[in-house]
Chains A and B, each alone.
Chain A
């Protein structure tokens, strides 16, 4: 079991809040949309990851405890 940040790219509106809150795992592309580091979130960074997900104005960012089904 590993925890990843999962973005719903349709719901995302590019507010960029997540990249401010968790820059170690989330950066913005040239158009202001988040690029998420593919590695699982280590246990000591889970609080930051959750903080970033909880503060997404579009509810587009979530924590998944396994890779999303797609």
Chain B
């Protein structure tokens, strides 16, 4: 991995081509050879061995699911809630272009479970629920085997913390924390309006910690190796490594581990380099931002490094738009996905995203399609302004952000398209994979 930081989470796995479905999980015995039983944060009646919440706070770890919330503060909020807590391991990974959480669940389930149990002990939880999208069958099977291995190793001893594995509905917003909570409380896997936030009243009314899979794997390593170790790589403001899923026009699409702040061109090199001359990169995933490749090349992959480009790391995704593909047409297909993935609860999301997607499609139309209605670009901008920030969750905001970035980065194409002269890429076969949308909410 030229230019990439030290492999930490993936140290046991070496190079990981994606998909790596044939590869086995690291067993509990192998895992314990590398990671002896983690130091418990507290034991009954004993003084705390380590104060995990303080340790995590000092490490600077932030959530790797997309929102990048400081993990220490999240733990602290839950530990101060009323009554015994619940820990949800969020392995829904609804971002279509991301595969890193599934990789961890499939190959390193015990590192993730270590993290979940440490977090549970730190916030006083008696129950851990590992939530995995039900279509991620390999990840589900691997984690179920891992939980069974631990039960067998305990040889009948009553576990201090119960671990359940839950197969969640295969919907994008089902991975939103309040949606997971509502689903675990026997409702639909749709976001709820705050308050109360899950940290206050979540599963069965208990304070609930919802933590991304990768975040918990980092937490397990920090508990073992310390906060200073964690800060030895990454940037002072955003320490540590991060997992990235790199796809599109690269030679070896892959999940890679890199120090936060690694320049994007090094990340692309780790994935075998660009194929041809991709005009733009989609950074952060479908919930991300188009950036011209030339502008992105030297940018450090971090919140601070991407901010000047108007982009964010999101869940750690880089997609290279193949040379010759039409960014507007690809965006229109993703907009249709956003509209179809709406939970349909909030008016601006339910109706607005459908109109945005139809408008984007009419602009991206192939040569033989109907001409875009005049004023379409202005109309799309007005709708984007009206939709932004008006959902109970951030689903509509993601759609708006993506469309705005496409209109900015592909501005020349946009003018041509609107005047009825679409580029030839618009009638080419789709370049980026957009998944089918399932209908189940329970």
Task: Mark A residues whose CB is within 8 Å of B.
Answer: 8-14, 29-33, 35, 68-70
Contacts and interface: CB of A to CB of B under 8 A. Distances in A.
B258 to A, nearest CB: 32
Nearest to A33: B347
Given A9-B193, A11-B193, A35 B386 contact: yes
Contacts of B352: 29-31
B193 A29 contact: no
23 contacts: A8-B392, A9-B193, A9-B345, A9-B346, A9-B347, A9-B348, A9-B390, A10-B191, A10-B392, A12-B346, A13-B347, A29-B347, A29-B386, A29-B387, A30-B386, A31-B352, A31-B355, A33-B346, A33-B347, A68-B194, A68-B195, A69-B194, A70-B195
Contacts of A35: 386, 390
A26 B171 CA distance: 33
Contacts of B191: 10
A10 B347 CA distance: 8
B383 A69 contact: no
B69 interface: no
Contacts of B391: 9
B347 A30 contact: no
Interface in B179-218: 191-195, 197
Interface of B: 191-195, 197, 345-348, 351-352, 355, 382-383, 386-387, 390-392
Contacts of B382: 30
B74 to A, nearest CB: 15
Given A9-B346, A31-B355, 20 more contacts: A8-B193, A9-B345, A9-B390, A10-B191, A10-B345, A10-B392, A11-B193, A12-B347, A14-B347, A29-B387, A30-B352, A30-B355, A30-B383, A31-B352, A32-B347, A33-B351, A33-B390, A35-B390, A69-B197, A70-B197
Nearest to A69: B195
A32 B197 CA distance: 28
Contacts of A8: 193, 392
A3 B85 CA distance: 33
B435 to A, nearest CB: 25
Contacts, number: 53
B348 A31 contact: yes
A32 B193 CA distance: 20
Contacts of B392: 8-10
Secondary structure of the A contact surface, majority rule? loop
B210 to A, nearest CB: 15
Contacts of B195: 68-70
Contacts of A13: 347
Nearest to B350: A31
Contacts of B386: 29-30, 35
A12 B351 CA distance: 13
A36 B391 CA distance: 13
A30 B197 CA distance: 30
Given A9-B193, A69-B197, A33 B348 contact: yes
Given A33-B390, A69-B197, A10 B348 contact: no
A1 B352 CA distance: 34
Contacts of B348: 9, 29, 31, 33
A31 B193 contact: no
A30 B191 CA distance: 24
A65 B382 CA distance: 31
A35 B390 CA distance: 8
Nearest to A11: B193
A8 B178 CA distance: 15
Contacts of B347: 9, 12-14, 29, 31-33
A52 B3 CA distance: 59
Chain A to chain B: the 4 pairs with minimum beta-carbon distance, closest first: A33-B347, A9-B346, A31-B351, A70-B194
A12 B347 CA distance: 8
A10 B194 CA distance: 10
| Most interface-central of A10, A13, A30 (chain B CB within 10 A) | A10
A13 B391 CA distance: 13
Contacts of A68: 194-195
A20 B324 CA distance: 50
Nearest to B191: A10
Contacts of A10: 191-193, 345-346, 392
A10 B352 CA distance: 14
A15 B197 CA distance: 27
A61 B391 CA distance: 14
A69 B392 CA distance: 12
A18 B255 CA distance: 50
